Copies of this chain bind each other. A is one copy, B any other.
Amino acid sequence: MKRTTIKDVAERAGVSTAAVSYVLNGREHKVSGDTLAKIQEAISELNYIPDYSARSLASKRSSLIGVVIPQTEDQKRLLLENPFYSDLICGIESELRQHGYHMLISGVDKGQSYLDLTMQRNLDGAVIMGIYQESFYDELKKVDIPIVLIDSYINDDHFKKIRIDDELGGYLATRHLIENGHVNIGLVTGMIRKDGVVEKRYLGYKRALQEANLFYDHDLVFEGQVSYEYGLEAGKQIAARGGGMTAAFVTSDMMAFGVINGLRQQGLQVPDDISVIGFDDISLAGIFHPNLTTVHQDIKARGIAAAKHLIEVLDGKENLDQGVTLQPISVIERETVRRMNEGKGV
């Protein structure tokens, strides 16, 4: 069957397409109450559904927001298996849909620019998660749409950044360990890259140690992939090494699960033998056994904040704040950190 168009509606209502277009786009005030009524009636009678492709072509607005998610190493799949990202997506989608926007999720292949997709689909805005090469951001700047960066320390006012104070997080986590009487504190972390989230957490770790006059021992830092698998590996290594390490700050919850399981595979229990504190507070943290003590951040709120920002800019309400929004964090005490300063030696 043929599609019902704005023209059909106009005819049925006995008005021009322009009038219909007005009421469709919330400019009812440009139309008399009489015609408004007729148009609305025609719309519902004909069950008219606008064609966004045509709208986008004519207006350059698509009501589409692009969301970029990091990929697995092999560039094949989205890192959506990491609950961190799915939580973020949840927040974004819910906010967008309530405001009439849709969400186009994709990964972006290495070395490729996101410009293509942006142009192809006339994206109205984008949320970028993960960290990319500088050239990627340069490309992004060529297109004139609002963009929110999640977890990025890029210093560029072209983008809005929404993140947490990762250095503080690392500091709080480590201090929590210290306050519980730990002295030999290890670090399990992803690759420490300049200006990356991981580096900040690492710096926080060092600051806490320093503040407590503890020696920073490079042998206690395990640097690898941000994944459950590497955590497992690190856990085994820690167990194998033996020695005095009594606690570890692990820079992501998924890794922390790996560490705990790795230790367990080697016969060490958390927190009895070694304490562990994670980072992110993904929903599993309270499900995993033992419940993971970790640095909490409200992930879904990040997603919502990102979407809200885009919507505000697109609605013309906000055009200024292209700075950084920091979201609050805090240590959540659960079951994986043992208090050392009350008897019962290791």
- Cβ-based interface call for A305 (8 A): no
For the complex, count residues of A whose C-beta is within 8 A of B: 49
- Asked if B287 contacts A289 (CB within 8 A), the reply is no
Looking at A7-15, A79-87, A308-316, the stretch in contact with chain B turns out to be: A79-87
- Cβ-based interface call for A104 (8 A): yes
A107 contact set on B, CB distance < 8 A: 93, 97
**A81 contact from B53, B57, B90, B116, Cβ within 8 A:** B90
A62 contact set on B, CB distance < 8 A: 53
Q: Can you tell how many copies of this chain the complex includes? A: 2
Could you name 15 residue pairs across A and B whose Cβ atoms are closer than 8 Å? A49-B115, A52-B53, A53-B53, A53-B54, A53-B57, A77-B90, A77-B93, A80-B89, A81-B86, A81-B90, A86-B86, A97-B106, A102-B117, A103-B106, A288-B288
Residue with the greatest number of chain B CB neighbours at <10 A, chosen from A90, A104, A264: A90
A60-80, CB < 8 A from B: 62, 76-78, 80
- Cβ-based interface call for A240 (8 A): no
A residues lining the B interface (CB < 8 Å) = 3, 49-54, 56-57, 62, 76-78, 80-81, 83, 85-87, 89-91, 93-94, 97, 102-107, 115-117, 119-122, 228, 257-258, 261, 264, 283-284, 287-289, 300
Q: For the complex, give the distance between the alpha carbons of A204 and B270 in Å.
A: 39
Q: A53-B53, A57-B57, A78-B90 are in contact. List 16 more A-B contacts (CB 8 A).
A: A49-B116, A49-B119, A49-B120, A51-B119, A54-B57, A77-B300, A80-B86, A80-B90, A81-B87, A85-B86, A86-B86, A89-B105, A93-B106, A97-B107, A261-B287, A288-B288
